Amino acid sequence: MISSIYEISPEISTLDDLRSSPELLTTALTAYTTNATGPLTQIPSSVCYIPFSKVIPASKLNSIASQISTKINHPECQYSTLRHNILANRFNPETCLGQIEFNFDTSNYSPHFTPEIGKKYATMMQMLQYPFSVGSIHIPASETKTTMHEAPTIDPKYYQGVNGNVDFLTMVESHAFAHRIVSTPPLSSMIVKRVFPALPEVGQEDDLRDHVRNHTTTDWHPIGTCAMSHLTTKGGVVGVVDSRLRVHGVKGLRVIDASVMPLHVSAHIQATVYAIAEKGASMILQDHESKHKG
């Protein structure tokens, strides 16, 4: 995810008003708990999923698409080959798939920006739905037994690896498009100015490459840390769980959550996770009944 922060008109009501005023928060909580009304009944954001073809000029999009490489780091790995082929197909400039999410929210969601007291802000976020870049997560190395209290070692590897530069270029273009959205009426009527990244000096190009490179973060919907796969490499099974969500090599253990998803979807993942949970529960019952038949 990459985001930009805009100062907005002080007359705009935001949830930050509740955070800064105990009285307003108490009133909002009362309205919500007594008759399900008031500001706590809504999420102050607008969300849309758009194909790259609606965001990036055709000439630039075709140029970016031409840079997609079919070569992968581990040619013997069927999983990596399949994943890259699916992502390359989803990148097709002619597709009508929601490849990039735009989310405008009347609050400051950037960990890199410190707001000024007394001012109000909104965040325009862009989330790449089908990144080529692949991060890693590992149990930390330890001379003794690793415990649950030790945090895993996580490296998101933003914009790295095969076609990582394709991710970078699309995010730069999407970030530029986001500023066009915010600068267009009627939304522009509530905007005072962009404050992060700062607007360029008059006559200078709005170069967003350094901002994207230095301020990309992970969004709130992580998946794939226990990805499902039956495919194998020369070293063994790729993935953590099989098609019935059983952990490879561990008896009696399943993973039933978003971590089993091998690829993202063009949506917030809550409904998909519900479906995984329902399917996982059915599998457990089926396997239990099958085991105790007769």
- The domains of the chain are located at 2-219, 221-294
Q: Which pLDDT does position 18 carry in this prediction?
A: 87
Task: Report how far apart, in Å, the C-alpha atoms of 10 and of each of 63, 103, 118, 121 are.
Answer: 42, 21, 8, 9
2-219 fold: Glucose Oxidase; domain 3 (3.30.560)
Residue 78 tokens, joined:
């069927």
Q: What is the pLDDT of residue 232?
A: 63
Say how many residues make up the chain: 294
Question: Residues near 280 by Cβ (< 8 Å), separated by ≥ 6?
Answer: 245, 254, 256
For 120-170, the three-class secondary structure string (H helix, E strand, C coil) is: EEEEEEEEECCCCCCCEEECCCCCCCCCCCCCCEEECCCCCCCCHHHHHHH
pLDDT in tens, the chain (294 residues): 999 999 999 999 888 888 888 999 999 999 999 999 998 998 888 999 999 999 999 999 999 999 998 776 554 566 677 888 899 999 988 889 999 999 999 989 899 999 998 899 999 999 999 999 988 888 887 777 778 788 888 899 999 988 999 999 999 999 999 999 999 999 999 999 999 999 998 889 899 999 999 999 988 888 888 888 876 666 566 778 999 999 988 999 999 999 999 899 999 999 999 999 999 999 999 999 988 875
Return the pLDDT at 236: 62
End-to-end Cα, the chain, rounded Å: 53
- Residue reference for tokens 């325009």: 124
Three-state secondary structure call for residue 45 = strand
Handedness of CA 170, 176, 182, 183 (dihedral sign): negative
Q: Torsion angle of alpha carbons 82, 275, 94, 64, nearest 10°?
A: -60
- Which phi-psi region, left, alpha or beta, contains residue 252 (left: φ > 0; alpha: ψ -120 to 50)? left
Single pTM value for the model:
0.88
Q: Identify the pLDDT of residue 244.
A: 93
Paired residues of 128 in beta bridges? 100
Residues 6 or more apart whose Cβ sits within 8 Å of residue 115: 5, 108, 121
